[in-house]
Amino acid sequence: MALQLGDIAPDFTQDSTDGEIHFHDWARDGWVVLFSHPKDFTPVCTTELGEVARLKPEFEKRNVKAIGLSVDSLASHHDWKGDIAETQGSVLNFPLLADEDRKVSELYGMIHPNANDTLTVRSVFVIDPNKKVRLTLTYPASTGRNFDELLRVIDSLQLTDSHKVATPVNWKTGGDVIIVPAVSNEEAAALYPDGWDEKRPYLRIVRQPGNG
């Protein structure tokens, strides 16, 4: 059965370009983005890994670690690193799991037989500090992922974990948010003394907490 939101992300031990990874120990008390690649030395994957390396400071601001996966060998991964650096201008600066035995791929349901019965699809898992799966995305092999969108979702998850709000369509950090329906007007008045814009009783727009 596929992993669902709220499930505990399965633990594993696997080789990587940064040495052996004991996943839960490696994650510690931070957030994790785990994402898979169909194969080494493929064009779309090369661009993705370069982009995640470039975005490392943005992930670190959010207490997020990135970890990639491909079903090719560790030796192949190390060879690929040179191509990534040369073509993308970013050196691989996070672990890339060498899942040759498909152990992690099978645990996380990254192989979709009707798409390809041996290669992983472009799966993404955002995992919180409690090791719970908070987001899953699956892209076709032909389509590169939007990592700015992943950062946006992580911003939303971290904000809504800390405050009784939800984020509306196309929200970005600094934008207005929605007071969740479970919060009464009396409680909202205490939380948001400057008030809010009530479009409907269930749709109350308020400035993002902590944003002035």
Residue in 9, 21, 34, 45 annotated catalytic: 45
Question: Across the chain, which distance is largest between two alpha carbons, in Å?
Answer: 61
Is 45 part of the annotated catalytic residue set? yes
Q: How many CB atoms lie within 10 A of CB 126?
A: 22
Token digits of residue 88: 């993308």
Strands 64-70 and 31-37: parallel
Secondary structure (H, E, C), 28-91: CCCEEEEEEECCCCCHHHHHHHHHHHHCHHHHHHCCEEEEEEECCCHHHHHHHHHHHHHHHCCC
Q: In this structure, are residues 178 and 203 in contact, taking their beta carbons and an 8 Å threshold? A: yes
Backbone angles phi, psi at 118, to 5 degrees: -125, -30
CA–CA gap between residue 65 and residue 127 (Å, rounded): 10
- At residue 129's C-alpha, the angle toward residues 124 and 132, to 5°, is 55
Question: What residues are labeled active site?
Answer: 45
